Amino acid sequence: MKIKYYIYILLACYLATLLRLLIDDNLIISLVGSFFFGFIIRKRLNDLSKKILLTGFFSCFTSFTGFVFLLYEILHQGEWIKFIIFFNLIIITNLFIMICGFWISRKIT
């Protein structure tokens, strides 16, 4: 891959990180990111566009660490049941939203 492609991916990462800081809500970021991740997966884009969007933008935008930090705070408070519920709820909800994005993208195309 050419160096300019790495620069495009890096710029997508910077943009996603800036947008994440402006929104500052882990739930909204997670749901929006999951939806568009599923939407983009279904689209017939070239390999470079998928890498820029999926690896660069959405991986930095949704940032798994925001999800892990939320769970850490719940666990640190000693609320095991709340931790288990949130863990499963977040994963199931994001998977469902991603599938909806995939399905809607398929219907549009």
C-alpha 31/C-alpha 18 separation (Å) is 17
pLDDT digits (tens, 9 = 90+) for 49-67: 888 988 888 888 887 667 7
Distance (Å) of CA 22 to CA 29, 54, 78, 109? 11, 20, 30, 31
For the chain, the domain total comes to: 1
Reference 36, options 58, 20, 13; nearest CA is: 58
Domain extent, residue 79, equals 3-108
Token readout for 45 is 């884009």
Does the pLDDT value for residue 14 go beyond 80?
Answer: yes
Place of tokens 């800081």: 21
pTM (2 decimals)? 0.76
